[in-house]
Structure 1
Amino acid sequence: MTDASRVGLALAYNCAQVLYPQGLSGASVTGRQVVLRRGWLLPSDLFTAQNIRNNIDFVTVTMSPRKMPEWIEPLGRPWRVQQKVAPTVGVVVVDGTVKIVFSGDVTPAGVVAVWLDDVLYEGAPSAAYAVMAQDTPETVAAALAAALSGGVATGAVISVPGRMVNGHAGGYGQSVRVTRRQAQLYRVSIWTADATARETLASVLDTALAEQSWISTLDGREAQLRFQSVEDVDTMQNEALYRRDYFYELVFDTLQVQWASDMLCGIGTLSGEKGLPASFGILAPGAQNQTVTAALEAMQAVIATRAAATSYPGLGVDRFGTVVAAA
């Protein structure tokens, strides 16, 4: 999920990649030090040792309050599966017991459910567990047995004395829907005490952004980039401060994201003889298995972090909004 602030940060990262093609540890395209910030200038940028007066240039990215056109989200806000993760964990059911097995040397992933075939059994008749990278077959079996009434884990095997245990493993997926589509105006400002440095920075930055119709956002998606206008702000020339503002419209989606596993178990009713109902199946895992939902939702944050690292490697931001090398 993204918002106007994080889209602005993505634009700041994009500018950093343009001005520091070898990374922040290398030289800038002008050979001068350039500080990039998601946000406005700070007082320290003008009055401390590391400031504009000492041949340090600044590029800031801020939101502009200008009224932008409305964009309509898809009618009905339909849910769509954005990505799926196939299971690399499986189960083997033998003589009323369930054995957890992993596939080769790949990272374990998936959701495992076990249940008692006797649906009239009192207590917790089923359990589910979202397998994590650090798990082993034994830890998965132990977690499932602990959540299953009367469950016993013997190594990677789950059993319930006197009962028949069944199981299934499945993958999971990320479903998304667009809750709002919007356009936001951003101001990319160049600040310098050297008028010639302003021209060089502006030329490089404007040329690079002119080639881009889309930029990657921090949630793994993209925003449409549209140039709007440019202007010089020379009202601070008496202070030997030169500024140029570029305005860009970015169109992006605000998303609602939901993680869910493949269907593992369920309950239903069939019409039997003479129209009498006949129930089948087992109850889905109950409240004691909310760790499954928590684990799947946690994966959203992990994937978002990976998306940001993939699109803008080596970049982070400090508490002042300054773009810095990622730790």
Structure 2
Amino acid sequence: MAGLADVSNALVALIAQIAYPNGTSQPSITGQAIKVYPGWPVPAVLTADLKAGKAHVSVFPTATEKIIDSAVSEWRELSAPATTLTLTLAGQAVTVGGTVSTPQNAALVVDGKGYVYGVQPADTLASIATALAALVAVDQPATSTGAVVTIPGAKAISPRVGGAGTSVRELRSQSRVFMVSVWANCFDARDPLADALDSALSGTFHLQLPDGMTAALRYQSSRQDDSGQKEGIYRRDLMYAVEYSTTETRTDTQITVTETNVSAGSSLDAQFPIKTIVE
């Protein structure tokens, strides 16, 4: 889920990209050195940097917040299951291929029965084949050689690979006002930087957050403070509201084998099993 720190860091990253469009090893948009960070300046550091001709841009969450929606949304897919393994069938042999990564499940449905192996971080293609062969061998002859599983008596083999994806749901959405403060040692250094940041932020309508959600960015107000000019501190505050969601995520494991138990009887209290269907 995205919290205040995540939103602050996303704003800091965006402002740094605006301030240094060609990278931090190249000159800034105003030619001066610029420090961009979340939180509030440390007075001694700020004073020393301003005297050295450096500018600061701080990003601070204010207490101004408004709840937009408190309804919990339905789960939706954030990232689809990813698989890196392959199981290739040729006759009565299955070859394990691809690359090993977790979480993944390697599965075989052999003659109407399912065998599922959860891949381990230390596995190799050969060890996965060995594990599958051992599972099948409980019910019928099965061997492995390298990355190949052979089931000589099998009448039907269906190989499957399943991964894990991520789902997300919104628990609430809120709007929080963030204060982007530009600090410089004179108005000639402050104003061009503040104007450039304000223009770029005003033209940025969406902000990508670490939880995969998108926040809305909206200008609110600005103010200028020259009260510290005797100390060589000139400041402008840009107030931007960020509308973002508090979310919950979960891991969804892809189904590789389904098992359905079929029963019958004269009533619900008098059921007896008929068969099990594995698909």
TM-score, normalised via structure 1 length = 0.69
Q: Give the direction of change, closer, same or farther, for the CA distance of 1:161–1:84 in structure 2 (3 Å limit).
A: same
Judged with a 3 Å threshold, the aligned counterparts in structure 2 of structure 1 residues 149 and 185 are, in CA distance, closer, same or farther, namely: farther
Aligned-partner SS, 1:141: helix
* AA partner of residue 146 (structure 2): G
Q: Could you tell which deviates more after superposition, 88-97 or 175-184? A: 88-97
Answering whether residue 179 of structure 2 is matched by residue 177 of structure 1, we say: no
1:62 paired with 2:60, answer yes
Counterpart in the other structure of 1:197: 189
Q: CA deviation at 1:280?
A: 1.3
Question: 1-side partners of 2:107 and 2:237: how far apart?
Answer: 57
More strand by share: 2
Q: In the alignment, which of 34, 51, 54 is matched to residue 53 of structure 1?
A: 51
Deviation digits for residues 148-180 of structure 1 (CA, Å, limit 9, x no counterpart): 886864311346899998642235432111122
Shift of 1:96: 6.8
SS at match of 1:207: helix
- What does residue range 252-271 of structure 1 map to in structure 2 within 5 Å? 252-271=244-263
- Which secondary structure state, in structure 2, belongs to the residue aligned with residue 246 of structure 1? strand
Tell me the equivalent position of 1:72.
69
The corresponding residue for 1:128 is 117
In the aligned structure 2, how far is the partner of 1:281 from the partner of 1:94?
A: 24
Asked whether the equivalents of residues 55 and 185 of structure 2 are also in contact (C-alpha less than 8 Å), the reply is yes
Which of residues 150, 154, 163 is equivalent to 2:145? 154
Q: Partners of 1:47 and 1:234 in 2: how far apart? A: 15
Q: Deviations over 1:49-107 (max 9, x none)?
A: xx1111000000011112x221115x4521112232464533345787643244xxx99
Q: Pick from 109, 112, 128 the counterpart of residue 106 of structure 2.
A: 112
| C-alpha separation in 2, matches of 1:239 and 1:63 | 26
Q: Secondary structure of 1:40's partner?
A: coil
Given that residues 100 and 156 in structure 1 are in contact (C-alpha distance below 8 angstroms), is that contact kept between their aligned partners in structure 2? yes
User: Mean alpha-carbon deviation: is it higher for 8-17 or for 107-116?
Assistant: 107-116
TM-score scaled by length of structure 2: 0.80
Residue 238 (structure 1) aligned to one of 226, 230, 236: 230
Q: Is the 8 A contact 2:101 2:119 kept in 1?
A: no
Q: What's the % identity of the aligned pairs?
A: 28
Cα pair 2:81 2:254 within 8 Å, conserved: no
8 Å CA contact retained: 2:17, 2:23: yes
What is the letter of the counterpart of residue 56 of structure 1? K
Q: Secondary structure at the match of 1:218?
A: coil
Letter in structure 1 aligned against 2:77: V
Inter-CA distance 128–193: structure 2 relative to 1 (3 Å threshold): same
SS at match of 2:24: coil
- In 2, Cα distance between the equivalents of 1:145 and 1:198? 70
Q: Given residue 112 of structure 1, which amino acid in structure 2 is its aligned partner?
A: A
Paired residues of 2:92 and 2:152 also in contact (CA < 8 A): no
* Counterpart mapping for 1:1-327 below 5 A: 1-46=1-46, 48=48, 51-66=49-64, 68-73=65-70, 75-85=71-81, 87=83, 89-92=85-88, 98-102=94-98, 111-114=105-108, 126-130=115-119, 137-142=125-130, 144=132, 153-158=144-149, 167-271=159-263, 276-281=272-277
Q: Could you say which structure has the larger radius of gyration?
A: 2
Mapped partners of 1:43, 1:143: distance in 2: 62
Question: Which ranges of structure 2 fall in alignment gaps of 5 or more residues?
Answer: none
User: What's the offset of the Cα at 1:236?
Assistant: 1.8
1:13 is paired with a residue of what secondary structure? helix
Q: How many Å separate the matches in 1 of 2:132 and 2:248? A: 30
Alpha carbons 2:50, 2:232 under 8 Å: kept: no
| Residues matched between the structures, number | 270
